[in-house]
Amino acid sequence: MEEVKADLLKVLDAALEKRRRDDSLEQAVGREVRRAGLTYQNYMAIMELVRVHARKNNLDAWDSAQAISKEQKQQ
């Protein structure tokens, strides 16, 4: 898997940590992107990475985000 930019990975990690009960991943990532002062293009890059990974590995969005985060920390 390609390496994710550090700031985008931090946003994904924050979304996973601050998950609310009824949040979709899109809502959580969007909230954290705004908090970090990043752009919509950054949001789209994160979500595209998660969606491609989820389709490839037959996972839901949250599980895919956790797997990406874990893989990137191991590199």
C-alpha 66/C-alpha 50 separation (Å) is: 9
Residues contacting 28, CB < 8 A, separation 6+: 15, 16, 18, 19, 20
Q: Encode pLDDT of 13-36 as tens digits.
A: 999 999 888 889 999 999 999 999
Structure pTM?
0.86
How far is the CA of 61 from the CAs of 12, 18, 39, 51, in angstroms? 12, 15, 21, 7
Minimal CA–CA distance to 66: which of 23, 13, 24?
13
75 pLDDT band, cuts 50/70/90, is confident
Q: Whole-angstrom Cα distance, residue 65 to residue 71?
A: 10
